[in-house]
Amino acid sequence: MITLYLARHGETVDNARQVMQGQTQGELNAEGQRQAEELAKKLAAEHFDVIMSSDLRRAKQTAEILARQYGLDVVTTPLLRERDWGDFTGRFIPDLRGETWPDNVEPLEQMMTRASRFLELMRTNYDGQRVLAVGHGIINKAIQAVFFGKQMSEIEKMKNAEVRILDISHN
């Protein structure tokens, strides 16, 4: 059994401006740093064997704040990257309503495959461990959808610096 604490990064400059970040690096703003510090306090009594993160800066910054109290290094993986929004990246989100999706948006099937591969990585490499993993809103929804066998639309959106716990069996 693996206990996975799946977290979303703290608020970023672009989250606050409602800009589609996709796979850009992003940067935590002051509120995002505060959110990560609050999450660290909330999780202070927990034990973690591993702290993981997306390899994008906004998630790594959050994970590094969380990892400080455990004296652990952050292990990064591109499997936890946010969805690639293609030509929507960098655009003001409210302006995208009703627009036709560009062909270069990462297909849902590809993102779901990444989510499955992340869960398989957990089962293969972290059996019996407690893992804190920091990802992004959409990929975290995909991971939960795969885990629970649901559609992404059935998974509630995670707030910045929110954490959800998944108990993953080894089989």
Active-site positions read: 9, 82
Place of tokens 């610096």: 161
Closest CA to 161 of 78, 41, 77, 46: 41
Task: List the beta bridge partners of residue 56.
Answer: none
Token representation of residue 165: 């716990």
Question: What residues contact 42, with CB distance under 8 A and at least 6 apart?
Answer: 163
